[in-house]
């Protein structure tokens, strides 16, 4: 077995267990020949495998990210591990993306005073990544109000009883994580659940993705943007997808719509829902342009880029469906009308349609990537839904906390973030490198090869035939 530095000890152990090896090298033993203990008849550094450890493919991914923190905690933290050195990124870049996440007609009062205090803790020096883990902190400007309720260290119960914010939340909201979370983790209060399940956590994902966006732009020239397709029952946008130059106009729209007619219909739906004490969901679309052919793979399900994108976007709070390209509409067509026919062009293969949304067989095909996500209505409904008080077992109405009428415009920015992270990971897995310069060199060599394969005439003109 060949050890790769990306493999975790858990992955290697599980692999060894799968092939019934009697023992497996510990992580510290790799890279050097193990000492041999002749008296014991075994190698030092080897240990028996009692039970394969659970692992996922994420254990060996080149680029990884994780977030920490609670909605009303001191701060959120994002850590990005595996990014190459030399990518230009600043705290201002991160703050700009976080400001986009706060956009949107129908947001709640929190957006009027919430400020994202960004601090880059590690991994960046003088505006350039160093190649090590990047830690980003997003401070909570409302922390003084929550310092007692959300304190990490024990607090005198008598002191907590005097704080209204600490009143037990025992009436779970239908559609939220409250009910299952309380039962699963043994909480008698929904506070520990909703604090982490809150969509406030997505601010950390947007921060992490800013690094990925910068890498994609600087290494490949890739742009990632989003727009709102529909809100509630409003007629969905049915025009051409926007391009990178359209993003300022989209962000200037109150609902981040690409088109005035669609915008007005969405605003009308939000106003009606607000008047009725209700909430709305909707559909967003993410578009990534400038991608090369061949990110992802057909070799296994977890290597397929569409499966990775779907998982990442479905992992966003309140997202209930994902489609790539024409998605479910394609299922209603005949094959002759479902696929994107190819024709020879002066510089390679061209297509007149993009129904596949830039992905075929789990790989990018050189066309713009299109990913749509369906967001359910926010579960904190102002007029409150029927529930059960888990403290008494009696009928009750669900708890209501300060919330949005509609957060679909913000969901588009979060979906951009997840798509950018997955694409950056796929690019690093394909092209490798320890620095941006090295990665670019690998990309350029690959793109020359792809261009030659597509167009023999172009290869001959360049003298590479």
Binding residue numbers: 101, 107, 196-198, 317-318, 361, 376-380, 402
Neighbours of 123 (CB within 10 A): 20
Closest to 80 measured CA to CA, from 99, 92, 100, 94: 94
Q: Collect contacts of 190-196 with beta carbons under 8 A, ≥24 apart.
A: 190/399, 191/149, 191/166, 194/71, 194/169, 194/401, 195/70, 195/71, 195/72, 195/73, 195/150, 196/70, 196/71
Q: Which residues are annotated as a binding site for FMN?
A: 196-198, 317-318, 361, 376-380, 402
Contact between residue 372 and residue 229 where contact means Cβ atoms under 8 Å apart: yes
Neighbours of 139 (CB within 10 A): 14
Which two structure tokens, joined as six digits, stand for 430? Answer: 């394909």
Under 8 Å CB-to-CB from 423, ≥6 apart: which residues? 212, 216, 222, 224, 288, 291, 295, 369
Q: According to DSSP H, which parts of 225-354 are helical?
A: 247-252, 260-275, 305-314, 327-330
Q: Which residues are annotated as a binding site for NADP(+)?
A: 101, 107
d(CA 457, CA 464): 10
d(CA 83, CA 165): 40
d(CA 441, CA 106): 46
* Full strand arrangement of the beta sheet holding 359-360: 293-296, 363-365, 359-360
- Distance (Å) of CA 447 to CA 432, 444, 461: 14, 5, 16
Contact between residue 274 and residue 405 where contact means Cβ atoms under 8 Å apart: yes
Rg over alpha carbons for the chain, rounded to the nearest Å, is: 25
């Amino acid at each position: 077995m060949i050890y790769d530095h990306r493999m975790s000890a858990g992955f290697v152990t599980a692999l060894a267990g799968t092939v019934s090896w009697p023992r497996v090298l510990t992580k510290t033993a790799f890279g050097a020949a193990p000492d041999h203990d002749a008296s014991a008849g075994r190698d030092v550094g080897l240990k028996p495998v009692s039970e394969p450890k659970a692992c996922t493919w994420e254990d060996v991914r080149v680029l990884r990210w994780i977030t920490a923190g609670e909605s009303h905690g001191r701060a959120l933290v994002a850590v990005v591990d595996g990014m190459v050195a030399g990518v230009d990124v600043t705290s201002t870049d991160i703050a700009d993306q976080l400001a986009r996440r706060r956009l949107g007609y129908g947001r709640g009062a929190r957006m009027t005073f919430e400020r994202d205090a960004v601090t880059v803790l590690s991994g960046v020096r003088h505006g350039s990544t160093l190649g090590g883990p990047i830690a980003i902190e997003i401070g909570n400007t409302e922390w003084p109000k929550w310092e007692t309720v959300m304190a990490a260290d024990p607090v005198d119960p008598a002191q907590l009883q005097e704080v209204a914010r600490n009143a037990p939340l025992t009436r779970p909201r239908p559609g939220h994580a409250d009910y299952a979370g309380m039962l699963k983790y043994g909480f008698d209060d929904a506070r520990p659940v909703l604090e982490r399940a809150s969509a406030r956590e997505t601010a950390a994902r947007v921060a992490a993705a800013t690094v990925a966006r910068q890498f994609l732009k600087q290494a490949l020239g890739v742009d990632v943007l989003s727009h709102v397709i529909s809100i509630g029952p409003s007629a969905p946008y049915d025009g051409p997808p926007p391009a990178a130059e359209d993003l300022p106009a989209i962000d200037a729209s109150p609902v981040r719509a690409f088109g005035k007619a669609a915008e007005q219909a969405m605003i009308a739906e939000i106003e009606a829902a607000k008047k009725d004490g209700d909430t709305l969901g909707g559909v967003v679309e993410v578009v990534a342009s400038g991608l090369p052919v061949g990110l992802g793979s057909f070799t296994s399900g977890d290597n397929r880029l569409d499966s990775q994108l779907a998982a990442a976007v479905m992992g966003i709070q309140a997202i209930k469906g994902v489609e790539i390209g024409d998605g479910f509409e394609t299922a209603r067509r005949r094959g002759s009308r479902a696929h994107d026919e190819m024709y020879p062009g002066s510089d390679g293969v061209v297509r007149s349609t993009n129904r596949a949304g830039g992905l075929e067989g789990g790989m990018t095909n050189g066309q713009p990537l299109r990913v749509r996500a369906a967001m359910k209505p926010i579960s904190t409904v102002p007029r409150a839904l029927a529930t059960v008080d888990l403290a008494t077992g009696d009928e009750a109405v669900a708890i209501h906390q300060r919330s949005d009428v509609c957060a679909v415009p913000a969901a588009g920015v979060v979906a951009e973030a997840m798509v950018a992270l997955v694409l950056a990971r796929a690019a690093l897995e394909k092209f490798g490198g320890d620095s941006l310069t090295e990665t670019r060199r690998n990309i350029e060599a690959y793109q020359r090869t792809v261009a030659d394969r597509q167009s023999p005439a172009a290869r001959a003109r360049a003298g590479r035939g």
